[in-house]
Each structure stands twice: as structure tokens, then as C-alpha cells.
Amino acid sequence: MGIWIFGVLTSALLLTLVAELTFALLWRIKRRDLPLVALANLITNPAVVLCHYLARIYAPSMALPVTILLELGAVAAEGYLYRSRGKTIRRPCLFALCANALSYGLGLILF
């Protein structure tokens, strides 16, 4: 793993924040909970991206199942945070699932 990983982590986080915060506005989440969405992504995104690249480099044959598990874990963690701590987030688990599907799809297109 080289220095490039820091660039990848930063760009993946920025892309995810822009995508999921925009999606949160469309989901009609109030301003009070928007930072929570950002914080939830700050918790999950760097960890998921780093583990994904570690798997790709050191265990390429396991990269796909590892990535699927990581994404499901991220959805579960974000869904839990939104449900337990969000005040204005309707159907938090569905929101987490849709937001992550959107950002993952964008990532696939752009990276």
C-alpha cells in the first residue's frame, strides 16, 4: 500500500459526504440531523474504503465478499445510529440502505 491510499480515502469520503448529504435533503431530513449523517459517514466510510483496499491488495480472491460484508456492515451501523440518535430521520434503516447504494454506485462509476 502506498501514499496513494490517503488520496483515495479523502476523495472517497468527500464524494460520499456530498452524495449522502444531498440525498438526506431529498429525504427531507431536517438541518438538525444533517451533521449526524455526516458523522455517521465519517465513522463508516474511511474504515470501509481502507478494508476494501487492504483486501484487494493482500487477498484479492476475497475482495468481493469482504466488500459486500463491509457495505452491509456500514448500512447496519448507519441505520442503527440514525434510529437511535436521529430526531427527524424517517425510516432510518431504509434511508441508510438507499444512501449507501447511491454512494456505492457513484463510487463504482467514478473510481
Binding region for other proteins (CB under 8 A) = 1-6, 9, 35-36, 39-40, 42-43, 46-47, 50, 53-54, 56-61, 81, 84-87
CA dihedral (80, 81, 83, 85) positive or negative: positive
Nearer to other proteins, 50 or 102 (CB): 50
Residues composing the chain: 111
Could you tell me the smallest distance in angstroms from the CB atom of residue 102 to other proteins? 21
Residue pair 70/53 in contact by the 8 Å Cβ criterion: no
Nearer to other proteins, 28 or 84 (CB): 84
Q: What is the C-alpha to C-alpha distance for residues 24 and 88, in angstroms, rounded to an integer?
A: 11
Nearer to other proteins, 4 or 31 (CB): 4
